[in-house]
Amino acid sequence: MKVRQLTFRLLQVYADVVRTGSITATANRLHLTQPTVSQQLKRLREIVGEPIVRQEDSRVVPTEVGQALYQLSQDLLSRADVFSQYLDEYNRGGRGHFSIGLVNTAQYVLPRLLGPFSQANPQVDVTVEIGNRQQMLNRFERHEDDLYVFSHPPSDDAVMAAPFLSNPLVVVGPENSRWASVKDLTMEALKEERFLLREPGSATRHTFDAWLYSSGVELRSTQQIASNEAIRLAVASGMGLAVLSRHVVADSPKGVQELPLQGFPLKSRWHFVVRRERRLPPAAYRFLSFVQGTLAQAFDEPEGEVAVAELLQALKDER
Amino acid sequence: MKVRQLTFRLLQVYADVVRTGSITATANRLHLTQPTVSQQLKRLREIVGEPIVRQEDSRVVPTEVGQALYQLSQDLLSRADVFSQYLDEYNRGGRGHFSIGLVNTAQYVLPRLLGPFSQANPQVDVTVEIGNRQQMLNRFERHEDDLYVFSHPPSDDAVMAAPFLSNPLVVVGPENSRWASVKDLTMEALKEERFLLREPGSATRHTFDAWLYSSGVELRSTQQIASNEAIRLAVASGMGLAVLSRHVVADSPKGVQELPLQGFPLKSRWHFVVRRERRLPPAAYRFLSFVQGTLAQAFDEPEGEVAVAELLQALKDER
DNA sequence: TATAGTCATAGATGATTATCTATGGTGTAA
DNA sequence: TTACACCATAGATAATCATCTATGACTATA
């Protein structure tokens, strides 16, 4: 058999001829003329190298080889069809894979979006990458993920970003800290405190540094710790104060409490970030849609909802 | 996905590209130029309606959809390949089906050929049709079977026949018949005996009638019985004499014995009969080959072997 | 024996395909 | 930076394909 010349069209036509037992009938059903179908059969026979049908009592019946070919046709066509359905489902975003890169702090909130999404879309496979701002920027530069969450989107023309959730940075101290009840607490008062800081690459550190700089404060004593969780524990055990995303604290506030420092919480927002030129996997698009539908009620972030809606629209227009 | 435009060739090329991870490499392996392969990929992408590969670190890697398409390709191609192997096996005659029409008497011998053949070719499915000469002629006229066994082939230009086995007709009487020991027994002496005859459509009857006519004998008393077996039993129980194929008697000679009538046994031969225009199924061809290889030793019929060999040659030439 | 239905074949034509050569872009390695 | 390897695109061409209309052969039925 000359496999390379075999076409699915031929198999379709052939299968229909076997089913109807009539060349003319198939021609009508497929909106072709009778000679066309005759010729298709002829060509298929040549490809197979063997007679596949014969005339019998005004019906066209498959030969023994034709029988086998019919089964093959059914089989192949249905497999192709399954694939086609898969494609549709993939394009609808209900199936497939995407990867999302999260800046460290975001890992405290994103699960609340990803969890329900996965539940609703079990066929979608999500890879979550986590790192500090700098690491995520590297991944971003290398196009390693489909979607990112930054609090400060990289400044790149090729970037589209939607601020979707507020990320207030607060100062925390140990439970029962003497500062907790101070009125009009200022940085000046905390000058002598040791501050436990995230590493320089992190967004939290960056934001805090910027605030310190703009308010002309210089810290006396600092210590660098690379993990939000470690910082929270260190604060709880009295090693010092820290600036953390409120989400970090809200998640499991044991042993620490927010301090009412003036000017705090520092406002910042998480952004969904995608590259303009990258074709977003339909599943990622579906995730964004899902998030958009959730933000207003579940997170009380109507602005975020609008921003995501705009991003979705922009992505649609890109295509 | 535009299934109708899908070609196995495209899948072959695509699968190879995925395997090698290189368009150029595939081009070389398939004896094509690089642009050709590039274009095939492009066309396949258009058929699928979705990017299927992307460049990555000087390698061509499939996208998520491409992965699924690759699996599909493998699947479809291997199925087509299995069919192709089936075709080969079919053409070799080691697989498939044929039907053979036997004249009644032949059913006593053919199993000795069909049995070993089936054993050696378990994938071949044989349909055996049995009837008297007239019934077989009807089937023959209607092209109902692939192969026939007649003692007297139909006289038809479109027929090819090979006498392959002698079929001696003998006169039988009951065991201990008084005629058994008579020397120079002639028909004249048996004039008064009742003869149990096969029905007119049968070959045995036909041959016997012809002999009677040519030797000018007329039987006094006859009875017609449509089955060899029934006749044998009737003879055994003393109802009369009969003319039967020696094979019928040889098979289970209980209660009957051959009588030494002059001029007997009447010589006749079984013929394999095929229609010239009918394409013989490879399995039937293989059966004839098998028979040809068996006749000389197992049946001591060297002439039959030659005749079948000639038939096979003629069939080969027909194609 | 006409008639209608079913196929096969021939001949024509526009569209598509397979394939090539030539060329240009891009990224990697010397 | 140059050279090389790899891929994409453009343009050309011959082959093949998908289709059609017209027509002829065969067969069953009125």
Render pLDDT for A59-116 as a digit per residue (tens, 0 to 9). Answer: 889 999 999 999 999 999 999 999 999 999 999 999 999 999 999 888 888 998 999 9
CATH topology of domain B169-259: D-Maltodextrin-Binding Protein; domain 2 (3.40.190)
- DSSP assignment of A202-270 equals SHHHHHHHHHHHHTT---SEEEE-S-HHHHHHHHHTTS-EEEEEHHHHHH--TTEEEE-BTT-SBP-EE
A49: nearest CA partner in chain B: B87
Which residues lie closer than 8 Å to A317 by C-beta, 6 or more apart?
Answer: none
What pLDDT does B123 receive?
Answer: 95
What is the pLDDT averaged over residues A180-195? Answer: 85
CATH class of A96-166+269-318: alpha beta
Average pLDDT, chain A: 89
Residue nearest the C1' of D19 (CA based) = A36
What is the pLDDT averaged over residues A226-231? Answer: 87
Q: Are B131 and B139 a contacting pair, CB within 8 Å?
A: yes
Determine how β-strand A194-197 pairs with β-strand A241-245: parallel
pLDDT higher for B296 or A90? A90
Render pLDDT for A265-316 as a digit per residue (tens, 0 to 9). Answer: 998 889 999 988 778 899 999 999 999 999 888 888 888 899 999 999 998 8
* A279/B64 Cβ within 8 A: no
CATH topology of domain A3-92: Arc Repressor Mutant, subunit A (1.10.10)
What pLDDT does B178 receive?
Answer: 82
What's the half-sphere exposure (Cβ side, CA atoms, 13 Å) at B223? 13
Q: Is B67 on the interface with A (CB under 8 A)?
A: no
pLDDT band at A217 (very low <50, low <70, confident <90, very high): confident
Give the best-scoring range by mean pLDDT among B96-110, B132-146, B181-195. Answer: B96-110
| Closest CA relative to residue A277, chosen from A248, A246, A319, A243 | A319
| Closest CA relative to residue B243, chosen from B195, B282, B210, B287 | B195
- Percentage of chain B beyond pLDDT 70 is 98
Average pLDDT, chain B: 89
What pLDDT does B319 receive?
Answer: 61
Helix (H) or strand (E) holding B101: strand B96-103
What pLDDT does B152 receive?
Answer: 86
Q: Answer yes or no: is pLDDT of A180 > 70.
A: yes
Distances, alpha carbon A124 to alpha carbons A91, A119, A243, A291, in Å: 12, 9, 36, 15
**DSSP assignment, residue B266?**
B
| Closest CA relative to residue B11, chosen from B62, B97, B102, B72 | B72
Determine how β-strand B53-56 pairs with β-strand B59-62: antiparallel
CA pair distance B63, B53, nearest whole angstrom = 5
Chain C: nucleotides below 7 Å from protein CB are 5-11, 16-23, 27-28
Q: Answer yes or no: is pLDDT of B157 > 80.
A: no
Q: Quick check: B41 CB within 7 A of strand D?
A: yes
What pLDDT does A68 receive?
Answer: 93
CA pair distance A64, A51, nearest whole angstrom = 9
Q: Answer yes or no: is pLDDT of A228 > 90.
A: no
What pLDDT does B121 receive?
Answer: 96
What is the domain partition of chain B in residue ranges?
Answer: 3-92, 96-166+269-318, 169-259
Residue count of chain B: 319
| Closest CA relative to residue B282, chosen from B86, B85, B89 | B89
What pLDDT does A7 receive?
Answer: 93
- DSSP assignment of B11-25 equals HHHHHHHHHHT-HHH
What is the pLDDT averaged over residues A23-27? Answer: 91
Cis amide leading into B163 (omega within 30):
no
Residue among B64, B76, B86 minimizing CB distance to A68:
B86
CA distance A290 to chain B (A): 22
pLDDT higher for A297 or B165? B165
What pLDDT does B181 receive?
Answer: 83
Q: Is B182 on the interface with A (CB under 8 A)?
A: no
| Closest CA relative to residue A99, chosen from A129, A134, A123 | A129
A96-166+269-318 and A169-259, same CATH topology: yes
Q: Answer yes or no: is pLDDT of A319 > 70.
A: no
| Closest CA relative to residue B203, chosen from B279, B287, B136, B273 | B136
What is the pLDDT averaged over residues B266-276? Answer: 90
Helix (H) or strand (E) holding B216: none
